[in-house]
Chains A and B, each alone.
Chain A
Amino acid sequence: MIDLVYWAATFALGCFVIGLAFAALRLLRGPTAPDRVLALDTMYVNGMLILLVLGLQFGSALYFDIALLIAMFGFVGSVAMAKFLLRGEVIEP
């Protein structure tokens, strides 16, 4: 049963890459600034999913740590940009 998981992971990778392309298109085209921030957040999550499925396919535990770091820093970046859009500055005195 090598092929079942392998081809499912390949299919999921293709779906994530297409989703990444859609999010990048929205990032380039988005009419307002919150649209672009949302598209960047979606790109973070899609990249994290790609790394997780690659780690599952290659059997390496290193990809998990990279995915955890991407999830954390994606959240921090999205919250910082949303705070900037909300208040005009990130860290208020």
Chain B
Amino acid sequence: MTATLPLWVSIPVALLLVISGLITLTGSLGLLRLPTFYARIHAPTLGNTLGVFCVLVASILVSSTLEQRVVVHQLVITMLLVITSPVTAMLLMRAAIRRKAKVEEPQDDESPLEPPPAA
């Protein structure tokens, strides 16, 4: 399938694929190696979004060259990921902050309706 690609297309496609692989590997390595959750959430969110972007640009280049017209249906995944990745990160961050606050003050609102025991 890639036999009909001209050289001026295959060089940027190969570069984009290699860059995307390295960036995604960096993001996943950051997920594994960073010390706390608040540091850890940044690496896959940024790295994987940029990796997906590079792969989709490469895919757009390849299919546009093979079909001799502009093919942009890969932009659907790009838009979906650009919109949904920050939403997931924000929800997870808020969940982590809420749970940490709940752990730090456990018996704050344990049974608010119950009257305090009379001594």
By a beta-carbon cutoff of 8 Å, the part of chain A in contact with chain B is 1-2, 4-9, 11-16, 18-20, 22-23, 25-26, 32-35, 37-39, 41-42, 45-46, 48-49, 52-53, 55-59, 64, 67-68, 71-72, 75, 78-79, 82-83, 85-86
Contacts and interface: CB of A to CB of B under 8 A. Distances in A.
B3 A2 contact: yes
A12 B59 CA distance: 13
Contacts of A8: 13-15, 17-18
B10 A38 contact: no
B96 A75 contact: no
B96 A15 contact: no
Given A5-B17, A49-B51, A86-B91, A22 B10 contact: no
Given A32-B96, A79-B87, A86-B95, A38 B40 contact: yes
Q: Tell me whether chain A's interface is mostly helix, strand or loop, or mixed.
A: helix
B14 A4 contact: yes
The contact size tier of chain B is 35 or more
7 nearest A-B pairs in the assembled complex, by CB-CB distance: A59-B1, A15-B21, A19-B28, A8-B14, A12-B21, A82-B91, A85-B95
Nearest to B25: A15
25 contacts: A1-B2, A2-B3, A4-B10, A4-B14, A5-B13, A5-B14, A5-B17, A12-B17, A16-B21, A25-B32, A33-B99, A37-B92, A38-B92, A42-B44, A42-B48, A49-B52, A52-B77, A53-B55, A55-B59, A56-B55, A56-B62, A57-B1, A64-B74, A78-B91, A85-B95
